[in-house]
Structure 1
Amino acid sequence: MTYSEQATAVRRTRPPSSSAVLKTGITVYGCGQDEAAVFRELAPRRGVVPTITEDAVSEANSELARGNRCVSVGHKACIENSTLLALSRVGVEYLSTRSIGYNHIDVRYAESVGITVGNVSYSPDSVADYTVMLMLMAVRNAKSTIRRADVHDYRLHAVRGKELRDLTVGVVGTGRIGAAVMDRLRGFGCHIVACDRRPETSADHVPLDEVLRLSDIVTLHTPLNADTRHLLNRQRLARMKYGAFVVNTGRGALLDTDALVSALESGALGGAALDVLEGEEGIFYADCRNRVIESKSLLRLQEMPNVLISPHTAYYTDHALWDTVENSIINCLKFEGEKQYG
């Protein structure tokens, strides 16, 4: 039985929530079939009537939210301010994004037109597991090894792999996901250094430049905002240890992609493993097999034998999907309750 089947079986034994009498309406935008199935299962138990569309929220489909104060949106596309204004005009007062980050929304503008923005939490284990997997694949030359095996070339790779216990890993951002990554890394016996503006975890916390100088692997787990955009720029990448690896499962724009390409081409970096990429919008989550990819940096990175690319999928597990939908519904119900009881 899968996790989602187990979770479903457990939840079926629970009595309906007392909030069921509210009969709250929520318009759910950018909802894939997997999310829709969970919404349709969970919403009635919470007394929620969902209006579901696979289309991303836009000015053109804002009318779908008329009559509902709450909407739930995906993270796969940026939300224009004109869309936020249109939502406010049809009566939307609360927007729950089904993601931890909300860099795809102008939160200040939303507030200025009367919309409160909330994010969701989900198990950090999904991203933490994936991050460690990418680290292992990077230091063991997995991309080249698998590609050679696929064409029946079973010779050993010219470059030997490395063992995590012999390496220093720098964790930039020690929130829930960064802390979960460190928990996993301790089992491998590697040395861990960390950097965070508000250090709360038991690790060797040092300034960012010191993390870059010491680390054989640097992994990024900070939110994306004006202060962290291009956190690893050309100057900081140049300070990294020769032959080090960069892992990014946070947000693409934490890395200056052009600078990363240059550092990889020069041989200064040993490789990169990227689940997120600057400019991924409109490419990741789409079937691009029969279209031209216009991102030169993506194409160049995918050519490199020491670079792993995956399409922003680290979070995508049964457990995290359930958490995301359930918490989006809960966010909206809390907002409705606050509005009702003030």
Structure 2
Amino acid sequence: MKVIFFSTQSYDKTFFELHNKDYGFTLEFLDVPLNEKTAALATGAEAVCVFVNDKVNAAVLEKLATQDVRLVALRCAGFNQVDLAAAARLHMPVVRVPAYSPHAVAEHAVAMLMTLNRKIHKAYNRIREQNFSLAGLLGFDLYGKTVAVIGTGNIGQVFCKIMLGFGCRVLAFDVVEQEAMKQAGVTYAPLHDILPQADILSLHCPLNEHTRYLINHDTLDRMKKGAMLINTSRGGLIDTRSVIRALKSEQLGALAIDVYEQEESLFFRDLSDHIITDDVLMRLMSFPNVLVTAHQGFFTQEALTQIAQVTLGNLKAFVEKTPLLNEVKQV
């Protein structure tokens, strides 16, 4: 079976080639993203393997179908970039990696929280310039603070446990409440109840029609003044312009994001010699209380190993016509 990989980075090739020794698929790696213009590059493949910022809309799927592509394999958990209705109409299964080391993303969220709170990034740069002053580096104890978590799936649950370990009071909002989290000490409550109480708000929910711009002008106004917001989930959960207004008014005290709504033209590439034309992102990055990383929350050895193994297992199940346990279907 031949598989074309889109949006490939060097580490994708390293991990997939290593674990493909047990499967024997023919893998071809392309660094370009999948979209209507590049779909033709999948000619001759039975499957395509795509990542978070690839375009898998109806037009792309129809082009893939005319080229006899029979499977879309996501090497990620999110599937908001796929037109599932079109895939079903074309009888093209879509499979994903539903859970790859939830510890990786949860721990990155905590790392961003700690870095932003204790100004580690600023202290590092100061020391390198022989500036040993502590002025402007004041943080706060996490112990005893109220942390609100939106979304208690695999990643959200790990984040909750870490925060409980710090001695935080943890509140959560989710359409499905986890009994294990309640027993661990997490208190579930409606969103409008937890926002005014939270010193720290962390997002761990999927992006869909119900959660797009979950953080907007109204929800920001309901938050405790000076609270910290963390997003390691999907950029579209946040209305960035509203966040900028909240930062300017100091309603929002600090922001840490590993994802950005318009990241597809920026993240996963070296643009150090280019002029960034995204004025919204550049304005956001001008704030001293904002920390941005480029979608690296998943980037651990354990996560990349699991992504490769699960994706290759999905391909094997398709070839052998066994149940596709990780298939995504339209609800």
Question: TM-score, normalising length from structure 1?
Answer: 0.87
Q: Which amino acid in the other structure matches residue 64 of structure 2?
A: L
Q: Name the residue aligned to 2:244.
A: 261
Gaps (5+ residues) in structure 1? 1-23
Q: Name the residue aligned to 1:54.
A: 31
Query: Greater shift after overlay, 215-224 or 90-99?
Result: 90-99
| 3-state SS of paired residue (1:281) | helix
CA contact (8 A) 1:144 1:305 kept: no
Q: Which amino acid in the other structure matches residue 93 of structure 2?
A: T
Q: Does 1:301 align with 2:270?
A: no
Q: Name the residue aligned to 1:239.
A: 222
Q: Distance in 2 between matches of 1:191 and 1:339?
A: 45
CA contact (8 A) 1:62 1:90 kept: no
Q: Which amino acid in the other structure matches residue 272 of structure 2?
A: R
State the Cα distance separating 1:80 from its structure 2 match. 4.3
| 3-state SS of paired residue (1:96) | strand
Q: Does 1:153 align with 2:166?
A: no
Q: Which amino acid in the other structure matches residue 123 of structure 2?
A: T
State the Cα distance separating 1:312 from its structure 2 match. 0.7
State the Cα distance separating 1:60 from its structure 2 match. 4.8
Q: Which amino acid in the other structure matches residue 122 of structure 1?
A: Y
Q: Distance in 1 between matches of 2:231 and 2:93?
A: 29
Q: Name the residue aligned to 2:67.
A: 90
Q: Name the residue aligned to 2:19.
A: 42
Q: Name the residue aligned to 1:281.
A: 264
Query: Greater shift after overlay, 139-148 or 309-318?
Result: 139-148
Two-structure CA RMSD over aligned residues (Å): 2.0
Q: Name the residue aligned to 1:17.
A: none
Q: Which amino acid in the other structure matches residue 75 of structure 2?
A: R
Structure 1 pair 267/58, CA: closer, same or farther in 2 (3 Å)? closer
Q: Which amino acid in the other structure matches residue 27 of structure 2?
A: P
CA contact (8 A) 1:145 1:157 kept: no
CA contact (8 A) 1:98 1:328 kept: yes
CA contact (8 A) 2:35 2:54 kept: no
Q: Does 1:135 align with 2:113?
A: yes
Identical amino acids, percent of aligned pairs: 31
1:223 alignment partner, one of 178, 202, 206: 206
Q: Distance in 2 between matches of 1:42 and 1:302?
A: 38
Question: TM-score, normalising length from structure 2?
Answer: 0.90
Structure 1 pair 234/45, CA: closer, same or farther in 2 (3 Å)? same
1:102 alignment partner, one of 71, 79, 83: 79
Gaps (5+ residues) in structure 2? 325-331
State the Cα distance separating 1:283 from its structure 2 match. 0.8
Query: Greater shift after overlay, 236-245 or 65-74?
Result: 65-74
Q: Name the residue aligned to 2:2.
A: 25
Q: Which amino acid in the other structure matches residue 25 of structure 1?
A: K
